[in-house]
């Protein structure tokens, strides 16, 4: 009997010709003009829309994101092609710790959304199976070794878009340097900012917040391998010369290294003058003094 893949993107189950979807996906309602896709976009998760958290509140948020993005696919726009968007996508999937924060949502056309979903499904079978774990504590010391060592995520692949890896001691001005150069559509990966996004504060040392932020950061780093346009900026401390070189090797030929080698005295002065860093000042100052120049 002739066969073909299930029509739902990311599903590899083989069905008989004349059948649209496999048994698992036959209850999924069709979107006009695109057979096999659930209304609101396929997210590769079992259960109906309500069970997966896509109820009335999501519908309102979806409309708001589409309006924010002028109902155009953000990936196609980066390539200079204005294409109408029909789906709202989680940049970091909810199944991997992503949230419904506005910064984690983007408007996509159906082909881009289907392609991204398929890539995520494929990655879930390989590198993304590894649970993201922090490899360094808030003071910069190694906790858990990884494939690359240091704070480089397990299973990372080279970046597909230009990536600038910005490193330097605490309070050296890394974030400011990136803010002055990053474009509006660029991806900026900054652990301190991610801590705020996951419910903490910039210099949060709580284990729960730190682990969640590291997992989120690792997902963003891994996603660079599947990006098709734009630029990215990754802010890391990378206290040793060896780690800086390993970051460049891990992220591939499209990455470059920028070292913000601010004077030790200047970094320490900024830390002591910053009330937001008061609770972690001692650890940050120690990290400044350990940073290899």
pLDDT score recorded for residue 148: 41
Whole-number Å distance between alpha carbons of 245 and 290: 18
Pull the structure tokens for residue 273. 């003058």
**CATH architecture entry for 163-290:** 3-Layer(aba) Sandwich (3.40)
Domains in the chain: boundaries: 3-124, 163-290
Whole-number Å distance between alpha carbons of 254 and 15: 40
Using CA atoms, how far residue 78 sits from 126, 178, 186, 189, in Å, is 28, 20, 10, 19
pLDDT score recorded for residue 134: 41
Could you tell me which of 65, 76, 5 has the C-alpha nearest to residue 35? 5
pLDDT score recorded for residue 171: 96
pLDDT score recorded for residue 128: 36
What do you get for the CA distance between the two ends of the chain, in Å?
A: 67
**Which parts of the chain have pLDDT scores under 50?**
1, 27-47, 124-149
Asked whether 168 and 235 are in contact (CB, 8 A), the reply is: no
pLDDT score recorded for residue 146: 41
pLDDT score recorded for residue 64: 92
With 0-12 CB in 10 A as exposed, 13-18 as middle and 19+ as buried, what is 253? exposed
pTM exceeds cut of 0.75: no
Asked whether 254 and 159 are in contact (CB, 8 A), the reply is: yes
**Rg of the chain over all Cα atoms, to the nearest angstrom:** 21
């Amino acid at each position: 009997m002739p066969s073909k893949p299930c029509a739902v993107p990311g599903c590899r189950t083989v069905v008989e010709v004349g059948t649209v979807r496999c048994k698992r996906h036959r209850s999924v309602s069709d979107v006009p003009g695109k057979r096999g896709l659930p209304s609101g976009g396929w997210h590769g998760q079992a259960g109906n829309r309500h069970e997966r958290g896509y109820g009335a509140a999501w519908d309102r948020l979806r409309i708001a994101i589409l309006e924010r993005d002028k109902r155009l696919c953000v990936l196609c726009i980066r390539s200079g092609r204005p294409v109408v968007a029909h789906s709202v996508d989680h940049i970091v999937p909810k199944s991997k710790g992503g949230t419904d924060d506005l910064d984690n949502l983007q408007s996509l056309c159906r082909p881009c959304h289907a392609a991204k979903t398929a890539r995520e499904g494929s990655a879930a079978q390989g590198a993304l199976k590894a649970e993201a774990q922090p490899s360094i504590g808030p003071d910069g010391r190694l906790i858990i070794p990884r494939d690359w060592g240091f704070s480089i995520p397990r299973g990372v692949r080279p970046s597909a878009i230009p990536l600038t890896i910005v490193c330097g001691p605490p309070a050296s001005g890394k974030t400011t340097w990136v803010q002055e150069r990053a474009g509006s559509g660029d991806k900026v990966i900054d652990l301190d900012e991610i801590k705020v996004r996951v419910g903490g504060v910039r210099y949060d040392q709580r284990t729960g917040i730190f682990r969640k932020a590291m997992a989120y950061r690792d997902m963003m780093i891994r996603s660079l391998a599947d990006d098709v346009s734009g630029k990215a900026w990754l802010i890391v401390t990378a206290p040793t010369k060896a780690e800086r070189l390993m970051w460049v090797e891990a992220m591939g030929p499209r990455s470059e290294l920028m070292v913000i080698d601010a004077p030790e005295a200047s970094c320490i002065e900024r830390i002591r003058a910053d009330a937001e860093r008061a609770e972690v000042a001692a650890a940050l100052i120690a990290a400044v003094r350990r940073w290899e120049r």
